[in-house]
Every structure is written in structure tokens, then in C-alpha cells.
Structure 1
Amino acid sequence: MFDKLLIANRGEIACRVIKTARRMGIETVAVHSDADRGALHVRMADEAIAIGPAPANQSYIAIDRVMQAVRDSGAQAVHPGYGFLSENPRFPQALAEAGVAFVGPPVRAIEAMGDKITSKKLAAEAGVSTVPGYMGLIADAEEAVKIAREVGYPVMIKASAGGGGKGMRIAWSDAEAREGFQSSKNEAAASFGDDRIFIEKFVTQPRHIEIQVLADGHGNCVYLHERECSIQRRNQKVIEEAPSPFLDPGTRAAMGAQAVALAQAVGYQSAGTVEFIVDGDKNFYFLEMNTRLQVEHPVTELITGIDLVEQMIRVAAGERLPFGQDDIRMDGWAIESRLYAEDPYRNFLPSIGRLTRYRPPAEEATPTRAVRNDTGVFEGGEISMYYDPMIAKLCTWAPSREDAVEEMRQALDGFEIEGIGHNLPFLSAVMDHPKFVAGRMTTAFIAEEWPEGFAGVDLPESELRRVAAAAAAMHRVSEIRRTRVSGRMGNHERHVGAEWVVTLQGRDFPVTIAADPAGATVRFEGGRALRVESDWRPGGALARLMVDGRPLVLKVGKVSGGFRMRTRGADLKVHVRTPRQAELAALMLEKTPPDTSRLLLCPMPGLVVKVDVEAGDEVQEGQPLCTVEAMKMENILRAERAGTVARINAGPGDSLAVDDVIMEFE
């Protein structure tokens, strides 16, 4: 076994590998860019080596720099994580020439299956069902349009060396094919150093289901069941689960057998994933093979009890798999929510900044429940614009899917993050969505359920009343605290009234509070009473309450006359007023937001790549105006209506903040 392992990656996956290596008694070496000097993976490793400036192409994907770190550290093996150099065959080749083990598959397997065009040809030759498409190289946008017409719209334009949703576009027309080809090509070149593009038929209403395989160097290969990854945005997975709620045992076995056969055909070793598109009739089509560890591997570990990172290290050291196919169990259900630094209210655009508060739920594992949080950040740390916006992967496990979902709801409710935009509200909304609860989702789930974009959740009447009752009881506690701080004499509670009006989500709830040492009873108009019990104290950012006999977790902030309360995807401004104050508040005019209809504002921090128009140009609705790159993704900003460009305030190469004015219109 190795004595020292270098992790050629960053963030949560580097931290994840370090944890297993430490448990195995292996010393770890972290590498880091200038931007990651104080990162969590650097703090966790036994040794850390700087490898260059912040841009990944000058540090994390610069093979010569990483190889120098390998030599300087004396590491005997390298784990690539995912992304960066994990599927670049030149990297394990360089390691082999230096006599260093690569914790991943052989070069020939990476070359065969890491390239999507080659892998599809090999899969077809092996008798694996594949999606119709054109696997040859495409010279330019016009050829892309011609091929797209032959395959038939809609089509998927994809980077051959891609992954993680980078270099991928769906085109429904000639115009979208031209535009998508160029954007995919640009993203592929920037992310992978390989701009080759191919086109395949886009299967409508698909489910994305993948099979985890694990093989050693002695001819043994097994599959560790499947993962459902259908909840996606911009072709990148957001929520995954294992097993899939859609598959039956026969389909699972057939997919597993094909995945193993394909892996064996290319002499695969280590952990890998064979991805399939599955239609409503459970017909499945080979999509691609990822010759690396997947982001969503924890859910497989939770249902099988197998540490995939440990097995990768052992296989790289020449060991045999300690189990066969019949030994692989499938115990319970696991869900993973990817927590991203992105704003779901702005079409999931990236957010950067400092994590002023980062308090994940406590990790635990019992025979009936588990909570796991794989992360690479810490409170006070920075989310950089240079890398993937992932903050953490929150996972829950329970004996049944219903219980695993409920565990995830509770874990998300208790996850505190402040300082940046993040997708926690969206993740919570998905967990309560009827289609997800029923397991009836496709890769079009987000587009179908939030076609105009995610705008938060409107809580149903029953939940509004529970939040209103909680707010009234919490306000009473705050008022008692205030009277004590003010120095008033006598019985402090006599200064706190019993009648209040709670206003939230456009509703007024007149209530009467009767308090006792164990809690408070909040009575609504009409006679309905809810019991509220909690140990919350004023200033607490998280309130755990029992309301009407059921748990309620609220993230709490103070606003004038009440609270900002967030729960289950809803972000509520809650006012608690006396009846007279509520009467007067109803007469107040609402502040009108400023008119920005004549401005093109930058929706996220990023770099201007291209400006498509000039001052004086007339533009039409939907016309591209400029392209902004953020966190390795190109975002094309389009005209919302017809107009004339009056002024352009930014050009290619300019770095912009959120809401910076890019151009103005007459």
C-alpha cells in the first residue's frame, strides 16, 4: 500500500479523498492555486504545495505544474478527483513515466471511453443500445446545422471531452444549432483544452440513470446498482438518489450487465460510471462513460456500504476486489442535494463572495438514519469566480425513500448559509414537490415546473398558520426581552400585550397569545388554536419549534417590526404588529422599485467574452447582446424587447459585478 498520496484537485472532492486516505493511514499532499491558499483541503492535508495562479489552466490543469508537485512531494500515487485532469490521458501517462501510480483507470480505457465520440462507437460495436447521432468531427457551425437537420431537431450539441454540463447545448432550430455549436466549442476549449464537438438526438422526456462500476486489475468487475440523476439545470445534476424510483429489478440487472460488459471490453480498472438515458417505457440508451469518480458517488456508498475511494486506492495498489457481484447489497435509500453558490431567483446564475455564516447540519449515522455533508468550504471562506460553484453535497439515508426525503427536508431546513446567493430554497422546494415525492421526474423537471424561473415557494394555508403562530410566540419572547433591557420595573410581562396581527405572504392573521412556562397557545380568529413550544432566544439565527405537535425549523433574521423567516423554500417577511399598528400599516404605500427596463444589467459576477452589438444598432427581442463567462460557463444575454442601443459601458475582457450596467437603450 502507498505511504503518500497526492490529490490533484481542490474543494470538496479533495477533502473527501483526504478523509479516506487518512483512515487508511496514508499521508496526503494537497495542491493549490493562489486563490486556494487558505482553502479547506489545504488545511486538511498533511502537506500542501502551490502550483500557480488562480485560473485553472495555469494551475490545476497544467500537467507540468502538477507533475512538479508530485516530484517535490515524493508522492507514490495521485488521485485526480473529478474534473480538471481526471479524464486527460496525458496525465496518467506522465505519472507512469515518472513511476507514480494513477488512482484511476488505465490510459487506454480513458482514451477509449473518456472521449464521447469514441465511446459511442465502441458501445455500438459491443451491442449496447446508443442514442442516434453523428459521431464524426464537425468543422464549423454550418456543418453542425446540416447534421442537426439530418438527425432531426431537437439535438444535443456536446463537447467530446466534456463533463459536468460544460460544453453542452440543446438546439431546437438552425439558429440555436449555430449559436450552440460556437458556445459549446468555446466552453470545451476553456474547460478541457479540447474543442471537438459532436451531435446526437435529444430524447424528450428522458430520465438520466447511471450505473456505478468497479473493476480491478485481475479481471474482476462488478456494478454497484444505479443512481437517478434526472433533476438537472443547464445539463448539470442538482439532486441524485440511489436507487432509482423508476427501475424494476429486471431493467436494473440488464443495465448493470451492459455496463460491466462495456467496462470489460476496454480493460477498465478502478471506479467508473456508465450513463444511460431511459425513456418512459424503460428503454435505455448508452449516453457516455465517465472514467473517474462521480460527484454523486456518496449515495452509492450509503446504500452499499462500500467506500469507493478506498477501493480505487486499493485497485491502484494492485489489490483484488474483496467482493463479487452477489455480495453487493442495496440497503435503504439515499438522496444527495448539491448545494451551489448560485441564485435560483436569477435563473441559477453563479454567486461569489464570503461565507459569513456556514453551519451545516451535524453528520450522523445510525441504523435508521444518516446525514452526511461532503464539503470544501468553511465559515469565513471565499467562494471564487474561478471554479465550480459547488459549496457542499448534503446526503441523507433512511430505510425507505419516503423517510430519506423527509430526512433531507429536515437537513436542508437546518442548513445555515449567509453571505452569498445559494440554491437551498430551490432544493427545499424540490423535496416538497408532488412529482419528486412520487418519483415522477425527467431531466426536463425544472424547465417544466418553473418555466418562468424559480421565484420561491408560496406556503399552503396550513403551513402559513404554523409560521404565523411561531412568529407571534417568538415576537412575544422578543418583546419581553426588550422590556427587560429597557430597564422597566415591576412585572415585565404586563407590558407585552396578548393581541397581535401577523402579516406574511400577503395575509393578515389576527391572533391572541396565552403563554405559560412550557410555551404558548396561539389562537386565530375563528377559534383554531396552535400550541407553540421552543427554546428559541432573541438573536438566534435558527429556531427549532414544535407547532401543533409537529417540528418546524425556521431560519430567522430581524426586520423592522418582525422577522425574515425562511423555511421549505419560502422566504418570508413576517410582521407582528398590534391591531392599531396593523390598521395603520394597511394605509402605507408600497415603495416602487426603480425602472431598469432600459438597461442591460449583468446578472452575475463574470467576465465579458463578447459584445454582439454597437451603439446605434436596432435589436429585436431574443437577439444576442453579449456573452458573459462565469465559473467556466458562457451565458448569452439577450434583448428582452425590441429597441435601439444607446450606449455600451463594457467590452471584452472587462470583469463585472452583479447589476453592473453593460449597455443602455433609448
Structure 2
Amino acid sequence: MFKKILIANRGEIACRVIKTAQRMGIKTVAVYSDADRNALHVNMADEAVHIGPPQANQSYIVIDRIMDAVRQTGAEAVHPGYGFLSENPKFAEALKAAGVAFIGPPKGAIEAMGDKITSKKIAQEAGVSTVPGHMGLIEDADEAIKISGQIGYPVMLKASAGGGGKGMRIAWDESEVREGFQASKNEAASSFGDDRMFIEKFVTQPRHIEIQILCDQHGNGVYLGERECSIQRRNQKVVEEAPSPFLDEATRKSMGEQSLALAHAVGYASAGTVEFIVDGDRNFYFLEMNTRLQVEHPVTELITGVDLVEHMIRVAYGETLSFGQDDVKLNGWAMESRLYAEDPYRGFLPSIGRLTRYRPPLETPEYQPGVTPSAPVVRNDTGVFEGGEISMYYDPMIAKLCTWAPTRGDAIQGMRDALDGFEVEGIGHNLPFLSAVMDHPKFIAGEMTTAFIAEEFPDGFNGVALPELHLKRIAAACAAMHRIAEIRRTRVSGRMDNHERVVGTDWVVTMGEHRFETSIVADRDGADVTIDGEILRCESAWTPGDQLARIAVSGEVIVLKVGKITQGFRIRTRGADLQVKVRTPRQAELAALMPEKLPPDTSKLLLCPMPGLIVRVEVVEGDVVQEGQALAVVEAMKMENILRAEKRGIVIKINAGPGDSLAVDDIILEFE
């Protein structure tokens, strides 16, 4: 077996590969840019090599820099993770020429499957069902419009070398093709150094389901079931699960066998994923093959007990697969939620900054190789730590939270609890949105397509409105916590009197327009909180200052993130962000008379919605702009974001230009 491997990647995937290598007794080498000097993967590895500036195209995707690191450390093999150089045949070729093993498929398979146009032709020849589309490269927007008209709208614009949602756009008419084509080319060039584009028919009401395969160098191969990846935003997966709640065994078998046929057609060896679009009648169409480890691979590991990274290493070393298709058993259900550094309240725009608090839920013992779990599991694959910096240079995903349970319902409930217990402060993040998905009726029923987010959250995400029963439980919990905090406050050292102030029993709890009058009777083990004649028993070990509270309210445990505010708490739970005021009846009476503070008027300003770099300003001073017109383009975390006019206006001042780095709410344009 290899004695030392280098991981040509960063973040959570580098950490995940290091964990398996350590378990196998293999030494590891990390590489890092200036931005990652203090990163978690650097600290976890046995050795680390600096490879350049923060920009990926000057560090992580520069083959010569990685090869230098290989030579310096004497690594015998390289695991590329995903993204960066993972599907670059020139990198695999460079490693082979240097006598270093590539922990991935052969160069020929990468070339054949890495190019989406070539891969579709091979898939057709191998008998795999494919989506109608234009198989040749498109030179410019005019040609793209012509081809799109021939295929029929809607169409999908795709970068040939793309992946991870980069360089992809859905276009419903000519104007969207013209605008989206150039934006996709720019993203593809920035992310992959390859701006070639192609177009295919966009299948409406689709589900995104993929098959995990594993092949060795001796002609053996297995498929490890499927993953449902339909919860997507801007073609970027957000929630994945295994197995799919939609497939039946016959469809699963057919998709798996076709995936292996494609793999054998290109001499594939290693872990890989064949992605399909599946319609409502379970007709499936080949989308692409990812010749690497997928981001969502943990859910497959949790339901099969197979450590995919370990087998990738063993295959690269030349070993034969130790099991066959009949040995693959799917056990239970697994969920994965991607934690992104993005602000769902600002249209999911990227967020950067320091993690002032990062406390994932406690992980539980999971699988051993070859053994599926037998108890509820929480797993968190991450590459960050409390106090670390979230950079603008890389993908915004900072963790993958996974749960496993015997049934889908139990896995969802486990995910709800884990999300509620995940503490992240200092940056915008999508934890509230993930919680909202877990509680959505369509998701619970397994009735979702890739349009789920666009259809169910058409106006973006504005928080969750919790049902009255849940609000009542929160009110009881907050009243009980407030009483504990008040008792603590009366016992602060240094008081002049010798008597503790009596803490009242009656409190008014308000949450926006909701008002609950409460009365508390406490004992040593908890408190009975009466609301509308109903007694809610509250029991908890919470003490003032704790930022996470687990409170049993009438026997049901609720998990609350707790922040102190004047006269109450900021409570975050199940996707809701609540300002909970706990006042005496007299204080509540007076508070109702206070005028409401209005937010400042920013309607005549174009504010930068995220930290980023101005790529273009599309207007000049004096221009009359119309609603929906493009005003500026801001790049952040490898994505271009077009800022549009919300209403008609006249540009009177431009405060920023191409190349300027802006913070959130910096003024770009001013209107008359």
C-alpha cells in the first residue's frame, strides 16, 4: 500500500480524504495557498506545502505547482478531491509521467467523460438514454440563439468542462440565451480555464438522480445505489439523500446497469458518478459522468457501509474490488444538507468573514468498512473551525451535515435536530433555509423536482412562519429561561441589600404580532408555565449565557439558539429568527405605546449585496434605466451576479468601477 499521498485540494474534501488515509496508516501531504495558510486541512496533514497566491488559477489549479509539491515530499500518489484538477487529463498525464499514481480514473476516461459533448456521444453508443441537444461547440451568442430555436425552449446552456453548477444557465427565450451565454462562458473560463459551450433541451418537471459506481483496474465494477439531488438552486445541489424516494427497484437496476456499461466502454477504474434526469414516469436520460468523487458521496457511504475514498486508494494501488454487486445492500436512509456561506435573506448571495462561533452538532459513531449503521448517525464533513476565515476566493460550501436512520422520516427528523443544534456566527449562512426545506410538505412527501426551490420560494427566502402551537412552546420556554435569568441577576455579587429581589410569576411574551400571557410556578426540576389555561411543563439544564438550549416542553424537546437582547431573547429554531420579548404586564402595556422605528430609505441607491469584485458597470451617468435592466456585475466566490434595477430611474452618480472590491451595502450607483 502507498506510504504517502498528497491531496491536491482544500477545505472539507481534503480533510475527509486525510481521515481515511490516517485510518489506513498512510501519511498525508496538504497543499495550501496564501489564503489557506492556517486552514484545517493544513493542520490535519502530516506535511504541508505552500503553492501560491489565493486565486485558484495561480495555486490550486496550476499543475506545475502541485507537481513541485509532489517532488518535494516524495508522495507516491495524489488524490485530487473534487473540482480544481480532479477532472483534468493533463494532470493525470503529468503524474503518470512522473511515476506517481493518480487516485482517480485513467486519463482516457477523464477525457472521454470530462467533455460533456464527447461523453454524450459515447453514452449513446453504449446504449445509454440521452437528452436531445446540440452536440457541437457553439461559437457565439448568435449561433446559440439559432440552435436554441431549433431545439425548442427552454434550453440549458452548459460549459463543456463545467461542473458544480458553474457555467450553467436555463434560458426560456432569445434574450436569456444572449445574456446567459456570455455569463456562462465567463464563469467557465474563470473556474475551469475552458469557455467552450453546448446546449441541450431542458427537461421540465425533472428529478436529478445519480448512480454511484466503483470499478477496479481488472474489469470489475459495481453500482452502489442512487442519490436524489433534486433540491437545487442555480443548478447547485443543496440537499441530497440516498436512496431516492422516487425510484423503484427495476428503475434502479436499469440505471445502475447502464451506468456500468458506460464505465466499461471507457475503461473506467475508480469511483465515479453517472448523473441522470428522471421525469415523472421514471424515464431517465443521461446528463453527464463525473470522473471523480462527488460532494454528496457521504450519503452513499452511510447506506452501504462502503468507504469510497478507501476503495479509490486501493484501486489506484492496483487491488481488485473485494466485493461484487450481490454484496451491495442498501440499508436505511441518509440525508445531506450543504452548509453554505451565503445569506438566504439577501437572495442567497455569498457571505465572507470570520467564524466567530462554529459549533457543529456532536457527531455519533458511524459506519465501519463493510458494516452498515445500526443506530441514528450524525456526520459532519467540514474544513473550517471557529475563528477561521471564510474567503471570497473559493466555493462557499463550508460543511456537509449528514444524518442516517432506519427510515426516511427518522433521517429527516434527525436532520431537523442537527440543524437546530448547529451554531454558526460571524457570517451569513443558509441553516435557516435548510431547516425550512426539512419541514416543507412536498419534501417530506418526497414530491420534489429540480424546480423545487424556484417554485416553493419564488420570492426568495424570508424566514419561516412557525405554527401557533410551536410558538406557544417557544413562549413557555422563553418565559422559563427569563425567570432563571432574573433569579441569576438578583444574586449578582456586590448588591447593597441582604435580601434577594422577588422574581415575579406573571410575564407577557411577544413575538412580532403574537402575544402570550404566561404564569409560572417553579420547582427544583423545572417550571409549569400556564398559557391560555394550558399548563406546559418546561425542563432544561439551560443557564444564563448558554447559546444553545435543549428544553423539554410537555415532553417534547425543542432546540433553541439563544441570544440575549433587551427585555428578552433572540431565538433561532426550525428556520425561524425571532425577537422574543419577555416583559412584566406593565412593561408590555407601555411597550405597546412606543412608536415603531422605520428603516432608512435606500430606494434611490444600488447597494452591493455581498462582498465582491465589480466586473462591469453596464450604465453611465445620465442613463435612464428601466425595471429589470442590468446595472452592474459583481463576482464573488467564483460566481458572477447581475444586479438589476428594481424600478425606472436616472443614474446621477457612479461610485464604483471594474476592479473595485466592495463590502456589503457599499454604494455602487445613485439615482435621481
Same fold (TM over 0.5): yes
Tell me whether 1:515 sits opposite 2:530 in the alignment: no
Residue 113 of structure 1: aligned partner? 113
Give the C-alpha shift of residue 505 in structure 1.
Answer: 3.4
Q: Distance in 2 between matches of 1:635 and 1:229?
A: 24
Tell me, which stretches of 5 or more residues in structure 2 are unaligned?
Answer: 366-372
Q: Distance in 2 between matches of 1:240 and 1:629?
A: 27
Give the C-alpha shift of residue 126 in structure 1.
Answer: 1.6
Give the C-alpha shift of residue 489 in structure 1.
Answer: 4.8
Residue 182 of structure 1: aligned partner? 182
**Conserved in 2, the CA contact under 8 Å of 1:458 and 1:505?**
no
Residue 594 of structure 2: aligned partner? 588
- SS of equivalent residue, structure 2 residue 335: strand
Tell me whether 1:603 sits opposite 2:606 in the alignment: no
Correspondence 1:191-590 to 2 at 5 A: 191-365=191-365, 367-485=374-492, 487=495, 489=497, 492=500, 495-525=502-532, 527-590=533-596
Q: Distance in 2 between matches of 1:564 and 1:463?
A: 16
Correspondence 1:17-56 to 2 at 5 A: 17-56=17-56
Tell me, which stretches of 5 or more residues in structure 1 are unaligned?
Answer: none
Percent identity between the aligned chains? 76
1:644 to 644, 650, 663: 650
- SS of equivalent residue, structure 1 residue 142: helix
Give the C-alpha shift of residue 386 in structure 1.
Answer: 0.2
Structure 1 letter corresponding to 2:268: Y
Give the C-alpha shift of residue 528 in structure 1.
Answer: 1.1
Q: Distance in 2 between matches of 1:515 and 1:360?
A: 32
Q: Distance in 2 between matches of 1:218 and 1:448?
A: 46
Residue 368 of structure 2: aligned partner? none
RMSD of the TM alignment (CA)?
0.9
Q: Distance in 2 between matches of 1:6 and 1:427?
A: 34
- SS of equivalent residue, structure 1 residue 581: helix
Q: Distance in 2 between matches of 1:78 and 1:61?
A: 14
Q: Which whole-Å deviations, capped at 9, do the CAs of 1:105-158 have from their partners, x for residues lacking one?
A: 000000000111110111112221111111101010111111111111111101
- TM-score when scaled to structure 2? 0.98
Structure 2 letter corresponding to 1:501: V
Q: Distance in 2 between matches of 1:338 and 1:181?
A: 28
- TM-score when scaled to structure 1? 0.99
Q: Which whole-Å deviations, capped at 9, do the CAs of 1:205-263 have from their partners, x for residues lacking one?
A: 11000000000000001100000000011110010000000000000000001001000
Structure 1 letter corresponding to 2:432: P
Q: Distance in 1 between matches of 2:306 and 2:455?
A: 36
- SS of equivalent residue, structure 2 residue 491: helix
**Conserved in 2, the CA contact under 8 Å of 1:553 and 1:567?**
yes
Q: Which whole-Å deviations, capped at 9, do the CAs of 1:438-470 have from their partners, x for residues lacking one?
A: 111111111111100000001100000000000
Q: Distance in 1 between matches of 2:517 and 2:481?
A: 15
Structure 1 letter corresponding to 2:661: S
**Conserved in 2, the CA contact under 8 Å of 1:126 and 1:262?**
yes
Structure 1 letter corresponding to 2:400: K
- SS of equivalent residue, structure 1 residue 386: coil
Q: Distance in 2 between matches of 1:247 and 1:604?
A: 39
Q: Distance in 2 between matches of 1:140 and 1:644?
A: 32
Give the C-alpha shift of residue 63 in structure 1.
Answer: 0.6
Q: Distance in 2 between matches of 1:379 and 1:488?
A: 40
Residue 173 of structure 1: aligned partner? 173
Q: Distance in 2 between matches of 1:89 and 1:656?
A: 37
Alignment length (residue pairs) = 664
- SS of equivalent residue, structure 1 residue 162: strand
Q: Distance in 2 between matches of 1:505 and 1:332?
A: 41
Structure 1 letter corresponding to 2:99: G
Structure 1 letter corresponding to 2:635: E
Structure 2 letter corresponding to 1:472: A
Correspondence 1:607-626 to 2 at 5 A: 607-626=613-632
Q: Distance in 1 between matches of 2:321 and 2:127?
A: 27
Residue 659 of structure 1: aligned partner? 665
Q: Distance in 2 between matches of 1:438 and 1:110?
A: 37
Change (3 A) 1:551 1:491: farther
Residue 74 of structure 1: aligned partner? 74
Structure 2 letter corresponding to 1:436: F
Q: Distance in 1 between matches of 2:264 and 2:9?
A: 28
Tell me whether 1:634 sits opposite 2:637 in the alignment: no
Q: Distance in 2 between matches of 1:430 and 1:36?
A: 32
- SS of equivalent residue, structure 2 residue 120: helix
Q: Distance in 2 between matches of 1:378 and 1:452?
A: 33
Q: Distance in 2 between matches of 1:446 and 1:490?
A: 59
- SS of equivalent residue, structure 2 residue 331: coil
Structure 2 letter corresponding to 1:500: W
- SS of equivalent residue, structure 1 residue 208: strand
Give the C-alpha shift of residue 488 in structure 1.
Answer: 6.4
Q: Distance in 1 between matches of 2:229 and 2:10?
A: 23
Q: Which whole-Å deviations, capped at 9, do the CAs of 1:60-98 have from their partners, x for residues lacking one?
A: 001111111111111000000000000011000000010
**Conserved in 2, the CA contact under 8 Å of 1:210 and 1:274?**
yes
Q: Which whole-Å deviations, capped at 9, do the CAs of 1:262-306 have from their partners, x for residues lacking one?
A: 000010000000000001111000000000000000000000000
Q: Distance in 1 between matches of 2:220 and 2:51?
A: 37
Q: Distance in 2 between matches of 1:488 and 1:403?
A: 54
Q: Distance in 1 between matches of 2:632 and 2:419?
A: 36
Give the C-alpha shift of residue 316 in structure 1.
Answer: 0.2
Q: Distance in 1 between matches of 2:596 and 2:202?
A: 46
Q: Distance in 1 between matches of 2:321 and 2:163?
A: 27
Q: Which whole-Å deviations, capped at 9, do the CAs of 1:487-542 have from their partners, x for residues lacking one?
A: 265663x61101110001321111111111110011013x1111100010001100
